[in-house]
């Protein structure tokens, strides 16, 4: 979840894979992760399309990608959770 948006964890994991895959194309052409938006990607899951209409889409995608980190449990990935570490 990010604000009013709610997405299935599997879709968020797919988003993370998509974002990480495009980060390593060419180091000279790398776009900073904070400004990258996968909205032009054909593989972007359809449930993320409403996010693409927002100005803050790159930051929303960044937060969602962080929530899908492999080393976090699903409870700790929730922004409302505190005290897991």
Within a domain: residue 58?
A: yes
H-type alpha helices, the chain: 9-23, 49-52, 57-67
Q: What is the number of domains present in the chain?
A: 1
Task: Identify the three-state secondary structure at position 43.
Answer: coil
pLDDT in tens, the chain (85 residues): 888 889 998 898 889 888 887 655 445 554 454 556 789 888 899 999 999 999 999 889 988 888 777 555 555 555 555 555 5
In a domain, 2, yes or no: no
pTM of this structure: 0.63
Structural domain range at position 16: 9-75
* 5: β partners: 2
| Structural domain includes residue 38 | yes
């Amino acid at each position: 979840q990010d604000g009013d948006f709610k997405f299935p964890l599997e879709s968020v994991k797919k988003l993370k894979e998509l974002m990480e895959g495009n980060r390593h194309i060419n180091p000279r052409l790398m776009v900073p992760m904070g400004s990258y938006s996968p909205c032009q990607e054909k593989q972007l899951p359809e449930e993320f399309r409403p996010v693409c209409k927002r100005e803050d889409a790159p930051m929303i995608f960044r937060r969602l990608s962080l929530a899908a980190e492999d080393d976090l449990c699903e409870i700790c990935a929730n922004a409302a959770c505190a005290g897991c570490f």
